[in-house]
Homo-oligomer: A and B are copies of this chain.
């Protein structure tokens, strides 16, 4: 397991958002799907499986009718929440700087195509 492997898991478009969302408390599948806006059912399932496999979240099934499945961060998952939140903070703080740099770069390098 290398740094890049962590990012392979975390880098998946949705993992961070799921972890961040669960950081505020356990949720069931449908709630999670609503909270993590834009995620497809398929990707949410796959993301949850991956995170569960890595021990970052716990899946609790209540065999009622209708069935109920809750997802919550494990201790391991909560520990990841910290550095992830730091990265999120960075994004918020520096978003303007990045956007400025991007516009500048795009203006100077006419050949660069970004949003065709």
Size bin of chain A's contact surface: 35 or more
Per-residue contact bits, chain A 1-42, to B (CB 8 Å; 1 contact, 0 not): 111111110111100110010000000000000000000000
Assess whether A52 is in contact with B87, with CB atoms less than 8 Å apart. no
Cβ contact within 8 Å between A7 and B87: yes
Copies in the complex: 2
Q: What is the bound-complex CA distance between A97 and B6, given in angstroms? A: 12
Chain B residues with CB under 8 A of A11? 7, 10-13
Residues of B within 8 A of A17 (CB): 3-4
Q: A residues touching B (Cβ–Cβ < 8 Å)?
A: 1-8, 10-13, 16-17, 20, 52-56, 76, 79-80, 82-84, 86-92, 94-95, 97-102, 104-106, 112, 114
